[in-house]
């Protein structure tokens, strides 16, 4: 599970997808593709974006839900908290002002 997170975060396009999902939750594949192409000039195919989303989903960073005929993607930052907790220094809480 942890390795999946690092693999997912290692790619700049996938980090852009997470940035965009931070701005607006509940995006369709079409909206994510539109944001990547128009806001970031990333000319990648829908199939490629779909594969990036699958990697993010496998890492738990993106969750998808079906609503009627539609599929929306949401950001889930819980796995990132586990990364931070993994390397928490024992005395960190005491030194925090």
Partner 1 sequence: MRIHLSSVFVDDQDKALRFYTEVLGFVKKTEVPIGEDRWLTVVSPEAPDGTELLLEPAGHPAVKPYRDALAKDGIPATAFAVDDVHAEFDRLRGLGVRFTQEPLEMGPVTTAVLDDTCGNLIQIVHQA
Residues that bind partner 1 (CB under 8 A): 24, 27-31, 34-35, 38-39, 46, 50, 69-72
For partner 1, the closer CB: 18 or 80: 18
Minimum distance from residue 11 beta carbon to partner 1 (Å): 21
Give every CB contact of residue 60 below 8 A, 6+ residues apart in sequence.
1, 4, 5, 76, 78, 79
Q: Which is nearer to partner 1, 66 or 81 (CB)?
A: 66
User: Smallest gap, in angstroms, from Cβ of residue 75 to partner 1?
Assistant: 16
Query: Could you give the residue ranges of the DSSP H alpha helices within the chain?
Result: 2-9, 12-23, 29-40, 46-58, 78-86, 92-95
């Amino acid at each position: 599970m942890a390795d999946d997170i690092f693999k997912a975060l290692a790619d700049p396009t996938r980090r852009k997808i997470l940035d965009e999902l931070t701005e607006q939750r509940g995006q369709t594949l079409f909206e994510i593709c539109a944001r990547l192409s128009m806001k970031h000039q990333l000319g990648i195919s829908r199939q490629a974006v779909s594969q990036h989303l699958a990697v993010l989903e496998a890492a738990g960073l993106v969750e998808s839900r079906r609503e009627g005929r539609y599929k929306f993607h949401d950001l889930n930052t819980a796995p990132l908290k586990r990364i931070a907790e993994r390397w928490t220094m024992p005395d960190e809480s005491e030194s925090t002002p």
